[in-house]
Amino acid sequence: MSVNKRPLKKSIFISSAIFFIFLCLVLSILTYTSYTRSLYHAYELRMTDIIEYVESHMDIEDLSNCVDTGVESEKYAELMDFMDSIMDDFDIHFLYIVRPISAETPTVMMNILSADTHLGRQTDPDGLTLNYMIEDGYEPQYLKLYMDAMESEGITFFKDFSDWGYDYTGVKPLINARGEKFALLCVDIEVSDLRSTIREYMIVNVVLIVILGFLFILFFIAWANRNITEPITKLEKSVVSFAERSHEQKDPDKLSYDDPHIMTHNEVESLSNAVAQMSSDMRAYVKSILDAEGQVEDMKSQVIQMDTVAYQDALTHVKNKAWYDKTKARVDEDIINGKAKFAILMIDLNNLKKVNDTYGHEHGDEYISGACHQICIIYSHSPVFRIGGDEFVVLLENQDYDHKDQLLTALRASFEASSIDEDREPWDRYSAATGMAIFDEENDVSMDDVFKRADTLMYQNKLESKMARE
């Protein structure tokens, strides 16, 4: 016996490891994607609240006038103080109002108001005053984001990578009474903070996934070893040993199988029990074969009997369609050899469907059997075949062929008397359509030619009988 190139235990371990790695990867990606999306959404809600809160404390017309005149008003100063307090109270990177300007020269950013913390204004003022032009603080692609936001409705969010830092920005156009979008109210949150939060969350989740996955793999491998791999290994050893001992073994008593007695209460135990039962059955089967050698003659006679049953109709015990086909081959050979002399009688029982529908199929079977019995009585020297549910064929040769007309008349009279006998049960009143055709050596080349003519005559007889009854 060849040794397995990939043991089951090793395959389970490798498959479990691959599954574990794939599971960790998929869960990590899903966790990262889901958490990042939810975190950015949370920051968008936070920035939206800040923007709407600042806008609610703003005199937009006064601010628009300051932008137009370049002069800071009293309300402008109050707005700056208010926005500075927002910077002190909320953990945000920047809070500012700007206006992107595009002319023939490259787009520049005009500062309107930049909030700062109280400490920042004292120690490191940024120098960004009203209508100060910032010409080198933004890359063109990021300036375009502000220009696009200026044309949009509502709040726009985007990532802003500029000299001011790596931020997630929310901007909203400010519209004065003339319907002009004259500035953008902006709030920035450092993306590095977002990344740090996501990274910490991911580390914790990945560690938990790895730990849980590792524990699952350990448990699964231990379970698989106990319930699958080790029992199958024992079963394999027993089966291989049995196969080696059984090779070319002629003594059934030596066909012994060492049962590994697997008790896993699963399919492996069922398989082990099946193998044990199979080995026992095999030993008994070999013994039965050896014992059967002395019974060959009895078996031959049984085969002959079975062959007879195979050609006999189960209900009427006359010959069936298979025997008819076999007889037809013999008659066709007689035709070829010029020895054929026969007639075919077709018989189709009437009223079988009515009996079945009215009195049940049991009485329908009685109707078929009784009618068949009448046919057999009259054609006692000819083979009778049941070729269909209510169809019979009689092959007339020798004595019955010589008296074919008298026998047909007797059959029709028998059916006629039976069908009108009121003392009989309905299923005992037999009726049938008949048609007889005689072999014509000048025109017929096979038994089927005669059969077809007999079938046509039978059908005509059925129609005539039906018209006569009507």
CATH no. of 311-469: 3.30.70.270
Q: Is the pLDDT of residue 117 over 60?
A: yes
pLDDT, tens digit, 9 for 90 and up, residues 280-302: 766 666 666 656 565 655 556 56
> What pLDDT does 48 receive?
94
- Tens digit of pLDDT for each residue in 218-230? 777 777 777 777 7
Q: Is the dihedral of CA 105, 107, 113, 115 positive or negative?
A: negative
Highest mean pLDDT among 18-32, 75-89, 102-116 belongs to 75-89
pLDDT in tens, 345-357: 999 999 899 999 9
Confidence at 303, pLDDT banded by 50, 70, 90: low
Q: pLDDT-based confidence at 324, cuts 50/70/90? A: very high
d(CA 271, CA 362) in angstroms, rounded, equals 47
Burial pattern 162-199, b for ≥16 Cβ within 10 A else e, equals bebebbbbbbbbbebeeeebbbbbbbbbbbebbeeebe
137, two tokens? 């603080």
Q: Is the pLDDT of residue 403 over 70?
A: yes
Of the chain, the end-to-end C-alpha distance in Å amounts to 83
Positive or negative: CA dihedral 207, 213, 214, 219: positive
Residue type, 193: D
User: How far does CA 345 lie from the centroid of its chain?
Assistant: 57
List all residues 6 or more positions away from 368 whose beta carbon is below 8 Å from its beta carbon: 315, 316, 349, 352, 389, 390
Q: Which pLDDT score is estimated for 415?
A: 93
Residues 6+ apart with CB under 8 A from 283: 252, 253, 255
Q: List the 432-438 sheet strands across, edge first.
A: 384-386, 391-396, 343-349, 432-438
Q: Map out the domains of the chain as residue ranges.
A: 37-197, 227-291, 311-469
Torsion (CA) 54, 59, 65, 68 in degrees, nearest 10 = 10
pLDDT of residue 422: 86
Q: Report pLDDT for 54.
A: 93
**CATH 2.60.40.10 for the 37-197 domain, yes or no:** no
pLDDT for position 9: 65
pLDDT at 157: 92
Specify the DSSP element, H or E, that contains 428.
Answer: none
In this structure, the chain runs to a length of 470
Q: How confident is the model at residue 73 (pLDDT cuts 50, 70, 90)?
A: very high
Per-residue pLDDT tens over the stretch 148-173: 898 888 899 988 766 566 788 999 99
| pLDDT tens-digit map of 167-212 | 889 999 999 999 999 999 999 888 776 667 777 777 877 788 778 8
Which residue is it, tokens 């199958």?
Answer: 232
Residue 286 C-alpha from the chain's centroid: 44
Give alpha helix (H) positions in 337-433: 352-359, 361-378, 398-402, 404-420
- In whole angstroms, what is the distance from residue 37 CA to residue 34 CA? 5
Q: In what order do the strands lie in the sheet with 108-114?
A: 132-134, 108-114, 94-101, 181-190, 165-175, 156-162
Q: Would you say residue 430 has pLDDT above 80?
A: yes
CB-hemisphere CA count at 13 Å for 302? 5
- Of the two residues 321 and 303, the one the predictor is more confident about is 321
Residue 300 confidence (pLDDT) = 62
Q: What is the pLDDT of residue 394?
A: 96
Q: What percent of the chain has pLDDT over 70?
A: 83
Write out the two tokens for 113: 């108001």
Helices 267-292 + 230-246 axis angle, to 10? 10
pLDDT at site 389? 87
- CA count, 13 A, side-chain hemisphere, 62: 13
pLDDT averaged over every residue in the chain: 83
Q: In angstroms, rounded to a whole number, what is the distance separating the alpha carbons of residues 380 and 367?
A: 20
Model's pTM, two decimal places? 0.43
How far is residue 63's CA from residue 71's CA, in Å, rounded to a whole number? 10
Higher pLDDT, 461 or 258: 461
Cα-atom radius of gyration of the chain, to the nearest Å?
Answer: 52
* Out of 302-311, 366-375, 414-423, 453-462, least confident range: 302-311
Per-residue pLDDT, 1: 47
- pLDDT of residue 100 exceeding 80, the answer is yes
What is the sign of the dihedral through the CA atoms of 44, 50, 53 and 59? negative
